Structure 1
């Protein structure tokens, strides 16, 4: 507000200048918290006292750093980052104040996923596909000597989940797809492994933490449930016992250092809730949070959920709401008090001038209810005149949540309505809902997105002929499929690094990802006809709405050829198709300089085609 009480209008560069802080890690004494922030425009590592203060920058690269994990015994940290968004994460050990960096991995063609420090701080476990891009091997790196030893030669997508209290074993995960994996206990000295998770059908086993005595592990699993539950696995009998089942997904767990308290993070209709269970008394207490999301990062496979302080008195986590950017927050467990530790800039934009969100649902073609979050300009009435954007998430095994999105807020600030549906295939609503779009049923999800247009118009939130589809990655495919199947439905589309042809996508995506994605989309060997049928490129003659496409040249997930194909085909037919190429980005728009190119281009495009 101005001095006279008038609301200030902010331009897009101001919104794109909003920063984030996330991914906290406590030092072994608990007197420092390291975290990731993009305050310089590129994500780097910082550290700050739990009492607050000005953070100390610890890394100084021109490329993003995506994870940090303190040693359990000293002030050194494992950090991981890639180049140009290529997701070939390289791991290093950084000294306590950033004075020196020692590489753990050096093959820039390989992908490496951090696992864990050993309990004595002498070793670092990680997975790498340096030997064969299709498979991840497990390595144990000796910090003192700098030598890494292969502990397991992998035959698939292995990752490290946890290190046993005595340091002799690792729990490793073998992924068969986003929604299916197995756990093994790997004896480091011998290399022998034992299967821990017998099952009769697809199931997930995640967020593993050894009990202090090493006889069992706590984990999340949906083996016997629609949703992820907190469970305990007896390592001798392999009996899996459910401890907490709330009817919604539990997303993350964290065991206190003394083994007496288990914190868990629940996803209730998209909103986050934190609970702490006293394992002795078997009692749970909730840590009150504002309406929002405990955000989780994944760069380098590091799980950014809840982190205990060494003394067990405090939890650290990354939190965001629809109106407030992502920051590291702390929770005092004894009192339930929560507060932001970091103060990532919101670029001078007051939270009260931003849009809150409301949880809504609408009916689709089969009368199923589709959950969605609706953002409307302050004071807007459903008069049927506004332009609107249907923002479709990637994945598809993912969920759009009510966290801060500067681009959404900008468009609402400019008078647009934004609807973010969780169409069938989304996570967070149970296994059945998640599998409703598998293989032959892919286009049912597209119909769910089309139903969003009808709902916006019927409720009066948007003009029927002024609604655009926008999405990234799989959401980009959804945009293209929406335009191809509903040429009279959509006024425009914005495709950020989406899939245009599932056959060429599977042929050209990174080798280790191919079979993981085939589990969702169908395989080249058995479902080629389905893949051809659902590919928007094969229906390009039906697309008439203008398209803006954006893609990074270093994208390892969805190769840039996907966008090149669809843009060329549309331009050959005379359909307006604009293309923004980013030479130094991968699967996402990370660098501030590129964000200042991409998002103004989106704004200009949608203003031209939805305001006319």
Structure 2
């Protein structure tokens, strides 16, 4: 699904264990149950630079022989391509580049890795290939106005498919090339500007591609596409708007593992018989259940259950549909490799993190033993004492239940003196998960209470909730954010005169909307690449994001009043809070014109505003020196305007 985001429960939770079995079973949290843990050995404020020495990795993929893992790491301060042995040893940086790299895929012989790379954050990716031994990469696509992404090899390694999107068009199509010396050609030719294609798996004989065609944010079908003719057969034809998403085909080619929200708008896992097109439902939950992948023998498959921002991996017996978490530790768990987390011996690579521990890769053996593969935490973080997040639920202005994660510093008294920062997420079709959050850690280690709500419009709670802010961006969803502050007030911890807000992308939009519409509530704000004016967004942002914007706000001509009422531009001159604006110069999602407008208006009004524009950065900052600067400036801003402290420690 396209996200403006623009950035961008660990068992099947049941009420008997004190957890809600679905969004509808949540109950409002007693504010006094929110605690400040006592800790006599609290550490000093977490240093920004030291925190960012913690390594982030992503895009991991198995080599064909299962002996190596290719992955993207920021260990050098850039998102570059690395390889390591299956046990995590022998890590080697294959490429050094200022530009971001992503989506590595081994060739069938294991000698090369294909990956994507953009230029200065422009998201116009080319595909490259580089030897696993290192050396000069070669550009496979070499296009200036087309973005090629998500390379996927056929089972026999003779074909490579990938997404292809023209800069001026909104739709992504599927392209293929024969490997290693073929010429790329389009397999799909989408005409609907609201629709895009995504290849998810190959048939074993390389004759077909299984792909998803999405229309807007609420409708999708799964197709089987003939590679030679381009003929596409719809395997999930339906009436109305339903999302049908495939993840993988079984090793015998007979069954597709899928996610569908056909059951009342809630995402559930289903097995589709390719020949008969009959469905066999695996889950029936109102939490978010997403299909994973098949084991090499095809006797097991996985799905991920996201229950209120906490995720577990479930291993399911194909015959009985009985599921087990196989003892994977509690936390936020997701598959650790793409396109398959399984290795041929049946072992399984997964990523594990929680609110106080950075993501690491772990290997679950076929016998059930769990082994740590990576060691990503910096020494400072590993030795630090940090309070865990607390999941809370509160009622908003209209009685709607809102979930949020709250961080409370150690040893805080209920005397109403603690400063607080609200962290709205990106999207709006996104969700704050119970993940490792550098922003929250930096703030809570300095005495700030932090709350990150999943307001209406968030994913993870069903389609009705996801669409509850349609044509009302910055309206009721902003009231949900404010209700979070009201909830924290009743805990007794916070000072309502020391409230800040810090968000990026749609969270940046929410920040600007908040300080404009409710100027007396906020004492400080940090806006990172946020939207000020939906009309200038339509004029300057990427074509795909323009279509996404219309799914949120309607037709820009017929719904002019909606666009105007939902733009912070209408309210920003009423703001009072000191505002810090941070922006990438080459952001194609929220172009820098949005930030420049905010700064010019507030400077003209004589308000307290500062801005930084980071060169060669797109939507979000990936260069470590820019991340250090971003976080240092932001924390300093809140220290100064919420606590009266001029410098962080």
SS in 2 for 1:586: coil
1:98 Cα deviation from its structure 2 partner: 2.4
1:396 Cα deviation from its structure 2 partner: 0.7
> 1:71-91, CA deviations, whole angstroms, 9 ceiling, x for partnerless residues?
345342221222222222221
Indicate whether 1:460 and 2:492 are aligned: yes
1:90 aligns with: 126
Equivalent position to 1:49, from 70, 74, 85: 85
Change (3 A) 1:196 1:288: same
Tell me the distance in 2 between the aligned counterparts of 1:201 and 1:333. Answer: 42
- Does the Cα contact within 8 Å between 2:159 and 2:206 map onto a contact in 1? no
Deviates more, 1:475-484 or 1:146-155: 146-155
SS in 1 for 2:211: strand
- Does the Cα contact within 8 Å between 1:229 and 1:250 map onto a contact in 2? yes
Equivalent position to 1:195, from 225, 228, 234: 234
Equivalent position to 1:273, from 284, 293, 312: 312
1:427 Cα deviation from its structure 2 partner: 0.8
Equivalent position to 1:417, from 439, 446, 449: 449
1:304 Cα deviation from its structure 2 partner: 5.3
1:536 aligns with: 568
- TM-score, normalised to structure 2, is 0.88
1:322 aligns with: 355
Indicate whether 1:27 and 2:59 are aligned: no
Tell me the distance in 1 between the aligned counterparts of 2:339 and 2:403. Answer: 24
- Does the Cα contact within 8 Å between 2:525 and 2:580 map onto a contact in 1? yes
2:367 aligns with: 334
2:406 aligns with: 374
Tell me the distance in 1 between the aligned counterparts of 2:167 and 2:419. Answer: 51
Change (3 A) 1:306 1:574: farther
Tell me the distance in 2 between the aligned counterparts of 1:6 and 1:172. Answer: 51
Indicate whether 1:556 and 2:592 are aligned: no
1:224 Cα deviation from its structure 2 partner: 2.6
1:207 Cα deviation from its structure 2 partner: 4.3
SS in 2 for 1:551: strand
1:188-587 alignment runs, 5 A limit: 188-294=227-333, 307-312=341-346, 314-335=347-368, 337-350=369-382, 352-440=384-472, 442-587=474-619
Indicate whether 1:104 and 2:147 are aligned: no
- Does the Cα contact within 8 Å between 1:24 and 1:318 map onto a contact in 2? no
1:239 Cα deviation from its structure 2 partner: 2.9
Tell me the distance in 2 between the aligned counterparts of 1:380 and 1:497. Answer: 33
SS in 2 for 1:504: helix
Gaps of 5+ in 1: 298-302
- TM-score, normalised to structure 1, is 0.93
Tell me the distance in 2 between the aligned counterparts of 1:433 and 1:343. Answer: 38
Point out which structure has higher relative CO (alpha carbons under 8 A, 6+ apart). 2
- Does the Cα contact within 8 Å between 1:22 and 1:328 map onto a contact in 2? no
- Does the Cα contact within 8 Å between 1:295 and 1:305 map onto a contact in 2? no
SS in 1 for 2:83: strand
1:59 Cα deviation from its structure 2 partner: 2.1
Change (3 A) 1:81 1:430: same
1:68 aligns with: 104
1:382 Cα deviation from its structure 2 partner: 2.6
1:306 Cα deviation from its structure 2 partner: 6.0
1:271 Cα deviation from its structure 2 partner: 1.0
Tell me the distance in 2 between the aligned counterparts of 1:597 and 1:445. Answer: 30
Displacement over 4 Å in runs of 4+: 303-306
Tell me the distance in 1 between the aligned counterparts of 2:300 and 2:92. Answer: 31
1:534 Cα deviation from its structure 2 partner: 1.3
Tell me the distance in 2 between the aligned counterparts of 1:341 and 1:327. Answer: 7
Tell me the distance in 2 between the aligned counterparts of 1:82 and 1:397. Answer: 25
> 1:72-126, CA deviations, whole angstroms, 9 ceiling, x for partnerless residues?
4534222122222222222122222223423222113322221521110111101
**Equivalences, count:** 602
Tell me the distance in 1 between the aligned counterparts of 2:125 and 2:413. Answer: 47
- Does the Cα contact within 8 Å between 1:296 and 1:305 map onto a contact in 2? no
SS in 2 for 1:512: helix
1:300 aligns with: none
1:252 Cα deviation from its structure 2 partner: 4.0
Tell me the distance in 1 between the aligned counterparts of 2:578 and 2:453. Answer: 22
1:264 Cα deviation from its structure 2 partner: 1.5
Equivalent position to 2:205, from 161, 166, 172: 166
SS in 1 for 2:475: helix
- Does the Cα contact within 8 Å between 2:120 and 2:616 map onto a contact in 1? yes
RMSD between superposed Cα atoms in Å: 2.1
Change (3 A) 1:347 1:516: same
Tell me the distance in 1 between the aligned counterparts of 2:641 and 2:267. Answer: 42
1:606 Cα deviation from its structure 2 partner: 1.0
Tell me the distance in 2 between the aligned counterparts of 1:305 and 1:123. Answer: 15
